Chains A and B, each alone.
Chain A
Amino acid sequence: MAPLDELKIGGMGASRRRVEDNRFIRGKGNYVDDIVLPAMLHMQILRSPVAHAKIKSIDTSAAWEVPGVRLVLTGETMAARNLAWMPTLSYDTQAVLATDKVRFQGQEVAAVIADDPYIAQDACDKIVVEYEQLPAIVNPIQAQKADAPLIRDDKENQATNKIFDWEIGDKTATDQAFADADVVSKLDLHYPRSHPSPLENCGSIADYDRATGKLTVYMTSQAPHIVRAAVAMVAELPEHMVRIVSPDLGGGFGNKVPIYPGYVVSILASILTERPVKWIESNSENLISTGFGRDVYLEGELALRKDGKILGMRMKTISDHGAFYADAQPTKFKIGLMHSTFACYDIPTAHLVSEGFYTNKAPGGVAYRCSFRVTEAMFFQERMVHAAANDLGMDQAEFRKVNLVGDDMFPYRTAFGFLTDSGQYQKCLDVGLKAIGYDTFKQEQEEARKRGKLLGIGISTMTEPLGAGNSREYDIIGIKMFDSAELRVHMTGKALLRTGAKSQGQGHETTWSQIVAHELGIPADDIVVEEGDTDSAPFGMGTYASRSTPVAGAAVAMVSRKIRAKARKIAAHLLEVSEEDIEWELGRFYVRGNEERGVTIQDCALAAYSNIPDGLEPGLENTAYYDPPNLTWPFAAYLCKVEVDAESGVWDVLNFVAVDDCGVRINPMIVEGQVMGGLTEAYAMANMQYITFDEEGNCIGANYMDYLLPTAWETPGFELHEVVTPCPHHPIGAKGVGECATVAGPAAFVNAVMSAIEHTGVRNVDMPLMPNRVYEALKTGKDVSGMPPVLSD
């Protein structure tokens, strides 16, 4: 019998078409806003027009008068049910509907529930709120001033605007490294605020059934099981009476991890009206009030030896979290995995100090396509490396080669204590250097400069910790970050797979089936994947931080192996030999020494329901919970070549080479799609995305005319390469990849533009590198800071 061709059954390595796209491209997806329930009401939220103000009064009487209005809710109504405040995923509290003060522009103040959303909006417009405006704090530099107004006066023991101090590393040894250094390279910069901007905004339909006591909430959540636990605790409903359903999601990018006030208000509204209540936010509401990314300031220093060796690294970060500390982070790590910075470099000692502050801005700092602040960590790293190579007068590639961790050094313990386990860093960089023509670039740049053209090349290399994570280190509000898979093989050999992850476009329905196909030989087309319904899916921590394949994907492999182990017993029974005499090849058991005598996995499935050996449970299904032994450590080497127009500051990407080592690729096409999507976002952050606040805390750029999402027209082409170093601990050797490009990408663009203009003496231009900033840097030779305006004293 010819063995099964794994590619033909859609197994590992098959660039199988995405099965979910069948419905998406036909407009047959089922998003929250597509769901219509009988007698459903609609909710609109009234938001604060000002950033910081006392609420003197709220008059809702005119709103109640509007025909079709069923309910008007304010902070007072919420407070009467102990729901005016809710806990966040970072052990803080957040206002659901404001009672005492508003703390950011766009904060939820009241809600109207009506027969249709138009009526609800009309009635919202009729609510009169009297505000007494307070001075606004719009950045963490202002927030730490001694006379800064206290934003969180609602909290006991909160005397300042500081949220946390956090520190890691060896200060004494690092100070010594700096004392011993030949050269100290310093760089200060700002990673600007960016917005995850899922194309589908956030929303929910809460449906409380008084007869059964059951609450069903259809909602846009990347982590429905965490929401179930939180809702059960906050709304004081028994957990088995809470069902969270996350249907198709139109992107998440970390924006759909936090629990937003709108969800909670819709739940109370449904309980009070005993009717389903739908709340769908608008683009502007999403931009102004939901979890943003980044907004971190860096003071960075590298201690260097003349020959290029990095002796030590010092970093201070100051982060802006908005009015409520609501970005989900593992409990131990207040500023996420910022300390994964420089993980790909062999550095003897390092020290990181982080401070987080409240400001009068929407809560956030979420992991926007990022494994908990890794994007900032790696951007800081690669900008510091770029500046350090220049300070030493060393070639950018050469400097990296001197310091990259070598293939023979794994497992490698980083200065901050992470254990990286595998990689071929030099090889990846070499592939990239060759592809972009690095050897001849300097000459090309010289010649172009003579013709008045400014060319630049930028490198970004990094490894990042993906797939949180093992239960010793990683949790969200105390719940450990394992994940799960449940596999049911039906009697005809078809199967249903459910996991605790939740696809938002990643293609789980396609790739999970491929893992099962690889492990069991069941064709991928014979497997259906379901996620997102907490009543049916096994408990899991959801999808973000590139954790799906490293954790839930591993659980899929492990549950398949459990199924195979049982099928082996059935095969032995069918073949009338002992289990020890059975061999496995893809999709089939056979008798050792007699390959012709065998049974397929489908034969075993049928027997599990029709011909069960004595002493064995019928059926063929199982569940696996997977607690990963370590994070996975993919590597990326990105190189970008640009031309800068000296007259306008406009820059064009001439070539972009991305070399990714994410271990074994389950579906190469999906991996390539992930890399291209991430690079597109990286390009947007580096080039055009700008959202800021004026001195009064008014958000500038809270719409998609001002805050730009790149289109296919201006997005450059990307040349992709791969190197494969399997993950030593993952059951199928895979590493996370969804975020590599957003993490490593921005520095490649910025370093390229800097390379084109730094002959003028400029060391840094903060993102976004808009034409006016690049032109100013070229003209003045001075750094251009993206520091938002500071309120004058």
Chain B
Amino acid sequence: MYPSRFDYDAPSTLEEAIAILDQGGGEAKVMAGGQSLIPMLRLRFASPERVVDINGIPDLEYHRIDPDGTLRIGALCRHEDLELSTIIGDTFPTLAGAAHLVSDPIIRTRGTFVGSLCHADPQGDWSATMIALGGKIIVQGPNGRREIEAKDFVLGPFVSALAFNEIAVEAIVPPAKGKALGGYLKLERRVGDFATASVAVALDMDGDTVTRAGCAMAGVGGRTIDANEAISVLQGKTLSSENIDSAAAAVAAASDPRTDHRGSADYKRHIVETFVKRVLVSVAKSEKKEAVA
């Protein structure tokens, strides 16, 4: 449990950090919360020559909602900030639903939202949430900033679209078209466990009609699975039990699980289907309740 030798930098500006990465030529690694990187260093799964600690860079801790309803999450916003957030609960229920299921309470105090996206773990909760919500990641490199759609950000297991000299500086979630509903369900064996299977479902609703449906899954494929197309069968429809069933079946069919000690591929597919149904049924119920009130 002793990492290989590495050099350590703690720059105080993004520009400085990017310059170090650029000079590092792919042998430097950014550290934000360190909750994935440090275990990988200790296990010697990762042996970068240089660790660039960005915790000293000011003004990256934020998460805020712009006047137009866009949610912006800075590179040093901790999981716990989102869990305890007073602004995302009503407007971004899918995010709020995932916030308290990310790892365990200790890790949530240090680990970051954006760092988790960059780590690109196929079992990561936030990537699924971002893809379901149609979010984007802003990355900054020597030549300035660019935007990457969340669905294009994760390329494979532990591989993101970040270039070696880029830092993900902000995640963006677009405003809902209508009322935002949805949720995040995860089958885990213990608090702090990675997902055996999880689903993020994000719906924009106009009355009882779905104006946008988003979905993604973790733990059921070699990377985060984008199920936006599968769930788009709900687009323009109501949440009738037939529609719910067909959407859940479509999402389950889009999953690509592997049989392992957490269960068979069939079992995981079944869990995906069950969880999508559960989220949709609870959305339908909450809509009904509101209509009665």
Contacts and interface: CB of A to CB of B under 8 A. Distances in A.
A384 B210 CA distance: 54
A713 B191 contact: yes
B261 A775 contact: no
Interface in B266-293: 267, 270-271, 274
Interface stretch (B1-9, B19-27, B132-140, B144-152): B1-9
Nearest to B193: A708
A44 B2 contact: yes
Interface stretch (A114-122, A400-408, A523-531, A738-746): A114-122
B37 to A, nearest CB: 15
A770 B262 CA distance: 8
A2 interface: no
Interface string A25-64: 0000000000000000000100000000000000000000
Given A708-B189, A708-B193, A690 B261 contact: yes
B167 to A, nearest CB: 27
Nearest to B106: A711
B194 interface: yes
Given A121-B2, A772-B263, A648 B187 contact: yes
A398 interface: no
B274 A711 contact: no
A701 interface: yes
Nearest to A711: B191
Interface in A659-708: 687-688, 690, 692, 700-701, 705, 708
Contacts of B193: 705, 708
Task: Using C-beta atoms within 8 Å of the partner chain, give the interface range for chain A.
Answer: 20 to 34
| Residue of A118, A771, A776 with most chain B CB atoms under a 10 A cut-off | A771
B192 interface: yes
Contacts of B3: 118
Contacts of B187: 648, 650, 771
Contacts of B5: 118, 122
Nearest to A283: B1
A683 to B, nearest CB: 11
B264 interface: yes
B189 A770 contact: yes
Contacts of B274: 647-648
Interface string B246-273: 0000000000000001111001001100
Nearest to A44: B2
Given A118-B2, A121-B2, A711-B104, A772 B191 contact: no
Contacts of B270: 775
Task: Using C-beta atoms within 8 Å of the partner chain, give the interface range for chain B.
Answer: 20 to 34
A733 interface: no
Interface in A762-783: 770-772, 775-776
Contact of B190 (A282, A692, A708, A775): A708
The B contact surface, by secondary structure, is loop
A710 B193 CA distance: 10
A692 B105 CA distance: 28
Given A44-B2, A118-B2, A711-B191, A648 B271 contact: yes
Contacts of B267: 772, 775-776
Contacts of A688: 189-190
Contacts of A125: 44
A692 B261 contact: yes
A682 to B, nearest CB: 15
A714 interface: yes
B264 A711 contact: no
Contacts of A117: 2
A564 B263 CA distance: 63
A511 to B, nearest CB: 32
Given A118-B5, A121-B2, A647-B274, A700 B190 contact: no
B1 A282 contact: yes
Contact of A714 (B44, B191, B263): B191
B47 to A, nearest CB: 10
Interface in A282-317: 282-284
A701 B267 CA distance: 20
Interface in A247-282: 282
A713 B194 contact: no
Contact of A711 (B43, B192, B194, B262): B192
A456 B263 CA distance: 23
A267 to B, nearest CB: 22
A648 B4 CA distance: 43
| Residue of A122, A648, A690 with most chain B CB atoms under a 10 A cut-off | A648
Contacts of B192: 711
Nearest to B39: A705
Interface string A63-94: 00000000000000000000000000000000
B191 A701 contact: no
B190 A772 contact: no
A143 to B, nearest CB: 22
Interface in A636-661: 647-648, 650
Contacts of B264: 772, 776
Interface in B159-209: 187, 189-194, 196
Interface in B37-88: 43-44
A711 B190 contact: yes
Contacts of B190: 688, 708, 710-711, 713-714
| Residue of B2, B192, B274 with most chain A CB atoms under a 10 A cut-off | B2
A700 B105 CA distance: 26
Nearest to A712: B191
B38 to A, nearest CB: 13
Contacts of B262: 770, 772
Contacts of B189: 687-688, 708, 770-771
B49 to A, nearest CB: 14
A516 B228 CA distance: 71
Given A648-B187, A713-B104, 20 more contacts: A125-B44, A282-B1, A284-B1, A284-B43, A648-B271, A690-B261, A692-B261, A705-B193, A705-B194, A711-B104, A713-B105, A714-B190, A770-B262, A771-B187, A771-B263, A772-B196, A772-B262, A772-B264, A776-B264, A776-B267
Interface of A: 44, 117-118, 120-122, 125, 282-284, 647-648, 650, 687-688, 690, 692, 700-701, 705, 708, 710-711, 713-714, 770-772, 775-776
21 contacts: A118-B2, A118-B3, A122-B4, A282-B1, A647-B274, A648-B274, A692-B261, A705-B194, A708-B189, A708-B190, A708-B193, A713-B104, A713-B105, A714-B190, A770-B262, A771-B189, A771-B196, A771-B263, A772-B196, A772-B262, A772-B264
Going nearest first, the 8 A-B pairs with the smallest beta carbon separation are A772-B263, A713-B191, A282-B1, A121-B2, A772-B267, A708-B190, A118-B2, A688-B189
